[in-house]
Amino acid sequence: MIKTMNNYIVIGAVTALLAGCAGKPAGMVDEAELTAGGVTDTRHEPFDYWSVAKFVAPRFPDAAARDGVIGCVAMDLRINTEGKVSGVYVTRSYPHGVFVDSAIAAVKKFQWAPSEANPGREPGVQSLSLDFNMVSSASTKNAAEYQRECAER
147 φ, ψ to 5°?
Answer: -60, -45
* 97: CB partners within 8 A, 6+ apart: 23, 25
Is the pLDDT confidence value at 15 over 70?
no
* Whole-model pTM over 0.75: no
Does the domain formed by 2-151 have CATH 3.30.300.20?
no
| pLDDT (tens digit per residue) in 114-152 | 989 899 999 988 889 999 987 665 667 888 888 888 876
Is the pLDDT confidence value at 18 over 80?
no
Of 17-21, 32-36, 63-67, 107-111, give the range with the top mean pLDDT. 107-111
Is the pLDDT confidence value at 68 over 80?
yes
Domain boundaries of the chain, sorted by first residue: 2-151
